[in-house]
């Protein structure tokens, strides 16, 4: 009897999901005409689109490609065993696990006894450590994929582009041909589906995509470059992009960042500093740029040009390289005065906060002084890792033949760009370091941390800190100044809308139209209810010709979990739905109202003794429901409600 009931429940639930999906698909077929591409517009059947996901740092599974016997442990490593992330082996055989994770800090080769390679397919990015307990804790893109399936996207319409996130950009191509394969992925998707792709990149994945766009310039004739982008990429959704780097990288490089793993900070630092990608996320100045080192002509010849690094005058007139404060404040452990360290004495005396013979000297460093190597030269005499860092910095970044990634990113030449990030979470923006008296990798300790919190700077002890805070704070990992750099990509006039993240009837929506924008931050003059989380949309009113740009700020959405945010996934779906509709009167989807799109969005309104949102949801009991809210489900006719968003 129990099996029969469960079977009945499964059939009923499956039928409802299938009916709803068929209704949405039917609505799409009835409403949409033939597939067409206009200037910055997409008209036609969304089934021709592909979604290509480029995950962030530490968001791709790594598997062993060696046979490694682990002494004193019942668990060994065999080919295709999960390395990142297998918490069981991490806990029981940490030394073996490290051998499979570490890279040579100078040439990025594998450990002699073990090598790891990135897994492939969607399973490589959905859950890092699958399991009943560890799966939900390590989930990254799983909810995203579930949304796509629920809205009828076919299996070949979602493509993962996993990569070895330990490598520097040039090594990704040199060892794995990653960018060549990514180009083939776009071309295969076009042939298979008949339409362009939508790129979803998160965190470091945005840096990877930026490098791909520059690499592509050297592979395609200049006259064909823009045409290739128009044919293969419809839109780019940059989620949580560290466009000017992340200050947390500094903590990982000097004292270690465990990211919640059961390892010591010293072990975490040792591992992090062996990765060539660790420098890829360093903070850098928004005022300094580098010319291309190599110029490739369509005839195939390559000419080496001057590799210059130049800063605007604003860099030297401001104090913090466009950030809110100095990122590093560090004590020099001198007992003989500053002359004891020749590398330190090269700096201007104005960099010293205090100097008395026999006392530690505190030096402060901005984002520019970190990314150009000044800081690492300053501590070279008594930090054994600085020589390795300087070597990697010059070889893999400053002298990179494609791009110096530690420079500001101009708007990519893609028709539709959406930059999305979280704001107003407590985010680390500066650190105070002091020597610990221990050997490497435990030779530094953090004595204080500076946070940005909703427009102010405070220390870990709670004291106010002077600086240049932004109008908001970051997403717990990346500072606001870095995330919001994409606002410089907006056109000369911007429409700003602030609406609740949850479903709403439009009563709490605020709008400012045609706000002038001059390549700087845009701050709306709007109010907030303290108990409501908002999305603030910045959308081109007057666009760059042939381009469309939008910036979405999600209140309290932290860096990692933003890709699992129901509000974000809903807005992405509605924007794409809007774009494929042949009669859309506006460039962006309406924000006037938001109703439920899934069963999970329906709930029981105890005050009115009915399901909330009765025009969208109805009470429909299915055997096995344990509370009233679970029996609130979308009406089968809910696909008609999507017409509101056209």
| DSSP string for residues in 331-391 | EE--SS-GGG-HHHHTS-GGGBS---TTS-EEEEE-HHHHHTSHHHHHTTTT-TTHHHHHH
Q: Does residue 64 lie within any of the structural domains?
A: yes
In a domain, 149, yes or no: yes
* Together in a domain, 112 and 230: yes
325: in domain: no
Q: Are 265 and 445 in contact, with CB atoms under 8 Å apart? A: no
Looking at the domain assignment, is residue 250 inside a domain?
yes
Q: Which of 414, 643, 582 is nearest to 35 (CA)?
A: 582
- Residue 317, classified by CB atoms within 10 Å of its CB into exposed (0-12), middle (13-18) or buried (19+), is exposed
The CA–CA distances, whole Å, from 609 to 336, 337, 401, 629 equal 78, 76, 66, 11
Q: Are strands 288-290 and 309-311 parallel, antiparallel or unpaired?
A: antiparallel
pLDDT of residue 351: 52
pTM for the structure as a whole: 0.88
Mean pLDDT per 10-residue run, the chain (646 residues)? Answer: 46 47 39 39 63 94 93 87 91 91 94 95 89 69 82 84 97 97 96 92 97 96 94 96 96 91 92 95 93 47 57 87 94 58 46 53 94 95 91 94 94 96 96 93 94 93 88 96 96 94 92 88 91 95 85 95 91 87 79 87 93 92 93 75 68
DSSP-assigned letter for residue 77: B
Burial class from Cβ neighbours inside 10 Å (0-12, 13-18, 19+) for residue 204 reads buried
3-class state of residue 545 by DSSP: coil
CA atoms of 407 and 409, how far apart (whole Å): 7
Dihedral pair phi/psi, residue 513, rounded to 5°: -105, 145
The 3-state DSSP class for residue 587 equals coil
Instruction: Calculate the alpha carbon distances from 325 to 322, 370, 534, 621, 635 in Å.
Output: 9, 13, 27, 56, 52
Same domain, 562 and 609: no
Give me the CATH number covering residue 225. 3.40.50.1820
Beta carbons within 8 Å of 3's beta carbon, 6+ residues apart: none
Residues 90, 236, single domain; the answer is: yes
Residue 67 in any domain: the answer is: yes
Contacts of 464 (CB under 8 A, 6+ apart): 456, 457, 458
**575 and 610 co-located in one domain:** no
The DSSP result for 192-212, as a single string, is HHSS-EEEEEETHHHHHHHHH
Quote the CA–CA distance of 489 and 525 in Å, as a whole number.
21
Cα torsion 517, 522, 525, 527 to 10°: value is 150
Taking the CA atoms of the chain, what radius of gyration do you get in angstroms?
A: 26
3-state secondary structure of 330: strand
> Which residues have a catalytic role annotated?
203, 475, 518
Domain match, 141 and 218 both: yes
- Residue 320 in any domain: the answer is no
Residues 554 and 631 reside in one and the same domain: no
Rounded CA separation 508/502 (Å): 11
**Is 10 a domain residue?**
no
Same domain assignment for residues 140 and 189: yes
- 249 and 174 in one domain? yes
How many domains does the structure of the chain reveal? 2
Same domain, 190 and 228: yes
- Residue 236 in any domain: the answer is yes
Which of 580, 612, 635 is a domain's end point? 580
Q: What CA dihedral angle connects 8, 147, 503 and 575, to 10 degrees?
A: -140
Structural domain of residue 637, as residue ranges? Answer: 601-644
Question: What percent of the chain is helix, strand and coil (3-state, nearest 5)?
Answer: 35, 20, 45
Helix boundaries (H) for 519-594:
566-580
- Containing H/E element for 429? strand 427-435
Q: Which residues contact 441 (CB under 8 A, 6 or more apart)?
A: 256, 266, 267, 269, 270, 273, 385
Q: Same domain, yes or no, for 172 and 242?
A: yes
So what's the pLDDT on residue 5? 45
Geometric angle at alpha carbon 169, from 57 and 62, rounded to 5°: 45
Contact 159, 145 (CB under 8 A): no
Listed residue (220, 175, 213, 183) closest to 403, CA to CA? 213
**486 and 634: one domain?**
no
DSSP state of 395: I
Which tokens go with 418?
A: 């959406």
Co-location of 576 and 639 in the same domain: no
């Amino acid at each position: 009897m129990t099996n029969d009931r469960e079977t009945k429940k499964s059939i009923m639930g499956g039928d409802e999901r299938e009916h709803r999906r068929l209704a949405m698909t039917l609505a799409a077929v009835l409403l949409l005409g033939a597939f067409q591409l206009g200037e910055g517009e997409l008209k036609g059947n969304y089934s021709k689109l592909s979604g290509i996901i480029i995950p962030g740092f530490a968001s791709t599974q790594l598997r062993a490609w060696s046979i490694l016997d682990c002494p004193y442990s019942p668990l060994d490593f065999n080919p295709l065993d999960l390395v990142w992330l297998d918490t069981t082996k991490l806990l029981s055989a940490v030394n073996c696990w490290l051998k499979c994770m570490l890279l040579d800090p100078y040439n990025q080769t594998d450990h002699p006894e073990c090598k790891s390679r990135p897994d492939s397919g969607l399973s490589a990015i959905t859950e890092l450590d699958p399991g009943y307990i560890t799966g939900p804790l390590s989930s990254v893109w799983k909810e995203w994929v579930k949304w796509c399936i629920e809205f009828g996207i076919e299996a070949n319409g979602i493509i993962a582009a996993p990569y070895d996130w330990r490598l520097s950009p040039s090594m990704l191509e040199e060892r794995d041909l990653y960018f060549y394969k990514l180009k083939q992925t776009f071309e295969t998707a076009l042939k298979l589906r008949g339409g362009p792709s939508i790129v979803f990149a998160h965190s470091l994945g945005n840096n990877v995509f930026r490098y791909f766009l520059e690499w592509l310039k050297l592979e395609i004739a200049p006259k064909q470059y823009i045409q290739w982008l128009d044919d293969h990429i419809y839109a780019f959704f940059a989620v949580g992009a560290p466009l000017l780097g992340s200050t947390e990288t500094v903590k990982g490089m000097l004292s270690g960042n465990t990211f919640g793993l059961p390892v010591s900070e010293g072990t975490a630092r040792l591992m992090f500093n062996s990765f060539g990608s660790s420098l890829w996320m360093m903070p850098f100045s928004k005022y300094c740029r580098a010319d291309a080192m190599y110029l490739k002509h369509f005839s195939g010849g390559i000419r080496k040009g001057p590799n210059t690094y130049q800063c605007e005058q604003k860099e030297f007139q401001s104090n913090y390289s466009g950030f809110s404060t100095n990122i590093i404040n560090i004590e020099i452990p001198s007992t003989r005065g500053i002359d004891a360290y020749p590398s330190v004495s090269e700096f201007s005396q104005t960099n010293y906060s205090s100097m008395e013979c026999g006392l530690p000297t505190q030096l402060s460093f901005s984002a520019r002084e970190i990314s150009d190597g000044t800081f690492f030269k300053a501590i070279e005499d008594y930090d054994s890792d600085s020589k390795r860092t300087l070597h990697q910095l010059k070889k893999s970044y400053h002298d990179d033949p494609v791009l110096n990634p530690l420079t500001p990113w101009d708007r990519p030449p893609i028709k539709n760009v959406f930059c999305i990030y979280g704001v107003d979470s407590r985010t680390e923006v500066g650190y105070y370091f002091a020597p610990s008296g221990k050997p490497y990798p435990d030779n530094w300790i953090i004595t204080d941390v500076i946070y940005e919190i909703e427009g102010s700077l405070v220390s870990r002890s709670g004291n106010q800190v002077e600086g240049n805070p932004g109008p908001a704070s970051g997403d717990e990992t990346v500072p606001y100044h870095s995330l919001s750099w994409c606002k410089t990509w907006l056109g000369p006039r911007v429409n700003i809308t602030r609406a609740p993240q949850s479903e709403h009837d439009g009563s709490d929506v605020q709008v400012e139209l045609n706000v002038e924008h001059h390549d700087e931050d845009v701050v709306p003059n709007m109010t907030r209810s303290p108990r409501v989380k908002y999305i603030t949309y910045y959308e081109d009113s007057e666009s760059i010709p042939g381009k469309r740009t939008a910036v979405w700020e999600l209140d309290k959405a932290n860096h990692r979990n933003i890709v699992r945010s129901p509000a974000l996934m809903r807005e992405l779906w509605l924007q794409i739905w809007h774009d494929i509709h042949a009669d859309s009167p506006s460039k962006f989807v309406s924000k006037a109202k938001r109703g439920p799109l899934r069963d999970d969005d329906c709930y029981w309104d105890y005050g009115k003794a009915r399901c909330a949102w009765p025009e969208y949801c109805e009470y429909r009991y299915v055997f096995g429901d344990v509370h009233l809210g679970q029996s609130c489900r979308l009406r089968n006719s809910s696909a008609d409600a999507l017409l509101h968003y056209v």
